[in-house]
Amino acid sequence: MHVTIIGSGHVGLVSGAGFADFGLTVTCVDSDQQKIETLSRGELPIYEQGLEEIFRRNLENKRLNFSTDLKSAVQRSLVIFIAVGTPEGKDGMPDVSQVESAARSLGKYMDCYKVIVTKSTVPIGMTQRLSQLIKESQTREVNFDLVANPEFLREGSAIEDFMRPNRIVIGTESEQAAAIVKDIYRPLYLIETPFVFTNPETAELIKYACNAFLATKISFINEIANLCEKTKTDIHHVARAMGLDKRIGPKFLHPGPGFGGSCLPKDVLALSRMAETMGAPLKVLEAVLETNEDQRDLILKKVQQAVNGVEGKRVGVLGLSFKPNTDDIRESPAMKLCAKLLENRAYIRAYDPAAMNNAKMVMNTERIHYCTDAYDAASEVDLLLITTEWNEFRNLDLERIKSVMKNAVVVDCRNVFEPNKMTSMGFYYLAIGR
Ligand code: NAD
């Protein structure tokens, strides 16, 4: 079977490479010509663990193709996935212009029955609404079915998530389209992946509800961590004991600088706005968002207090991506903290194992110096801030770090180090909720 994926960003690329690895012939289309040229040359524009290998393998066996020619790709394919961006739009509602533009092009180019699948995170009701747009763009009547098939992959472990998902959600009113999309995921039956069949609107809400719930866990544990600091209690023990409760589970119970990335912030805001306009406000999500903003201010306050004001001080920052194992800095808490430090006239020495190039493109002043490694970033600084929990930071030679710092002050936003050990080594060490 031949499938087309419109949008070769994080989701489009991972899904394209994944489907090709399942044995399908895939054409990934993007309107960004430079991106398509890069991909066709065999170069990846993003860093994602494990992607390189399946990308290369399927490029070589010609099951994975890249093109800007949507018309030919559509006419070759039975199934077309829409995986374009749905960024935050006006008033926090999702900006669906990329999805609409893809749908109009599909209407124009389809020449026989097609299954059109929204893999992008789209507002409740959007998949069905595309029907009208597609029909308006058709020059002659051609049948098609619509399916909502939201993507749940996590950046940093996207390949693992795509190959071994917790579940596949297929939302459609058409039995035929449900069977065709299910068939695409056939290799996943072997590993007994659960499939949830439902209507498109429910599938769309499932995606938002999942992200909103994960964000809620993060804001909740951050507030409990702040309470720990006031009560001399230890968030590690609280979170561990909570996580051992099977009704709660251990994931997303790590305190830190708040949630970020290209999905959680915009999806929580979008769900909150949608719920409000639909007359069923989600008050809990307003609080989740507010707590998330406040968390960054609390960390800045902690940094300010630790060095008696950051103005003119040198601050080392370890980690710029929004989480480890990715170079994605979209809505990264680390970048937001850097921006706050710069606003407060600090000098930054920053290091990240993968996200430096992306960071340089958006944050480039003489007050920020991009370093060659963690020791370089710690060199002569008044304070070291741990912002992203890359594994290589867990294994730092702390004696060496201390020896290159001007003042041995560490604010650890990810609770990477043991407070007792840090204190006994002579660091002035502040973590979150410990
Ligand atoms: P992205 O912004 O990285 O990529 C989108 C791509 O679509 C870009 O390359 C852009 O050039 C291309 N594009 C836009 N309009 C186009 C058009 N009309 N024709 C062809 N190409 C077009 O986005 P992403 O991170 O891959 O996310 C895509 C969708 O998946 C979003 O709705 C997002 O919320 C959702 N999602 C993302 C993740 C994630 O971890 N990134 C996880 C699950 C779901």
237-282 pLDDT, tens digit each: 999 999 999 999 999 999 999 999 999 999 999 999 999 999 999 9
Closest CA to 107 of 65, 150, 148, 146: 146
263 in catalytic set: yes
Shared-domain flag, residues 186 and 229 = no
Identify whether residues 333 and 220 lie together within a single domain. yes
In this structure, are 219 and 138 located in the same domain? no
- Rounded to the nearest angstrom, the distance between the alpha carbon of 121 and the centre of ligand 1 is 9
Same domain, 252 and 140: no
User: Do both 142 and 30 map to the same domain?
Assistant: yes
For every residue of 167-189, DSSP letters joined together read: -EEEE-S-HHHHHHHHHHTGGGT
**Total domains present in the chain:** 2
Can you give the pLDDT of all 434 residues of the chain as single tens digits? 999 999 999 999 999 999 999 999 999 999 999 999 999 999 999 999 899 999 999 999 999 999 999 999 999 999 999 999 999 999 999 999 999 999 999 999 999 999 999 999 999 999 999 999 999 999 999 999 999 999 999 999 999 999 999 999 999 999 999 999 999 999 998 899 999 999 999 999 999 999 999 999 999 999 999 999 999 999 999 999 999 999 999 999 999 999 999 999 999 999 999 999 999 999 999 999 999 999 999 999 999 999 999 999 999 999 999 999 999 999 999 999 999 999 999 999 999 999 999 999 999 999 999 999 999 999 999 999 999 999 999 999 999 999 999 999 999 999 999 999 999 999 999 999 99
Q: Are residues 80 and 145 in the same domain?
A: yes
Q: Which atom of ligand 1 is nearest to the CA of 7?
A: 7
**Token pair recorded at residue 266:** 């915009």
| Burial of 210 (C-beta count, 10 Å sphere; 0-12/13-18/19+) | middle
Instruction: Classify residue 252 as exposed, middle or buried by CB count within 10 Å of its CB (0-12, 13-18, 19+).
Output: middle
Residue 207 is assigned to a structural domain of this protein: no
Any atom of ligand 1 within 6 Å of the Cβ of 83 = yes
The one catalytic residue among 263, 338, 371, 413? 263
Q: Is 39 in the pocket of ligand 1 (CB under 6 A)?
A: no
The finding on whether 102 has its CB within 6 A of some atom of ligand 1 is yes
Query: What is the pLDDT, as a whole number, of residue 382?
Result: 98
Mutate to test the pocket of ligand 1, among 4, 8, 11, 152 (most ligand atoms within 8 A of CB): 11
Instruction: Tell whether 357 is covered by a domain.
Output: yes
Q: Are residues 269 and 392 in the same domain?
A: yes
Residue 283 pLDDT: 97
| Burial class for 311, CB neighbours closer than 10 Å (0-12, 13-18, 19+) | exposed
Has residue 203 been placed in a domain? no
Give the whole-angstrom CA distance, residue 310 versus residue 290: 25
With a 6 Å cutoff on the Cβ, whether 153 touches ligand 1 is yes
| 370, 250: one domain | yes
Examine residue 204 and state whether it is found in any structural domain, yes or no. Answer: no
> Of 149, 170, 198, which marks where a domain is finished?
198
> How far does residue 54's CA lie from ligand 1's centre (Å)?
20
Cβ of 12 closer than 6 Å to ligand 1, yes or no, is yes
Decide if 198 contacts 172 (C-beta within 8 A).
no
Residue where a domain stops, chosen among 169, 198, 227: 198
Residue-range definition of the domain harbouring residue 244: 213-430
In a domain, 266, yes or no: yes
Residues 232, 361 within the same domain? yes
Same domain, yes or no: 70 and 134: yes
At 417, which CATH number? 3.40.50.720
CA nearest 18: which of 123, 148, 168? 168
Assess if residue 205 is contained within a domain.
no
The reply to whether 169 falls in a domain is yes
Q: Of 142, 167, 198, which residue sits at a domain end?
A: 198
pTM of the predicted protein model: 0.95
Q: Strand 383-386 relative to strand 144-148: parallel, antiparallel, unpaired?
A: unpaired
Environment class of 104 (CB within 10 Å of its CB; exposed 0-12, middle 13-18, buried 19+): middle
Residues 14 and 54 in one domain: yes
What's the confidence (pLDDT) of residue 421? 97
Helices 283-306 and 264-277, packing angle to 10 deg: 140
Of the candidates 248, 240, 413, 434, the one whose C-alpha atom is nearest the C-alpha of residue 323 is 413
Amino acid 147: pLDDT: 98
Cα–Cα dist 398/181, whole Å? 52
Tokens of 169: 């959600």
120 Cα: distance to centroid of ligand 1 (angstroms): 7
Containing 429, the helix (H) or strand (E) segment is strand 428-430
Query: How confident is the model at residue 145, as a pLDDT?
Result: 98
**Residue 120 in contact with ligand 1 by CB distance below 6 A:** yes
Minimum-distance ligand 1 atom for the alpha carbon of 122: 32
Q: Are residues 10 and 42 in the same domain?
A: yes
pLDDT, position 190: 87
Q: Give the CA dihedral 208, 269, 133, 115, nearest 10 degrees.
A: -20
Is 208 contained in some domain?
no
Distance CA 183, CA 80 (A): 14
CA distances from 356 to 4, 55, 130 (A): 32, 23, 39
CA–CA dist 116, 134 (Å, integer)? 10
Cα of 180 vs centre of ligand 1, distance in Å, is: 23
Q: What is the pLDDT at residue 266?
A: 98
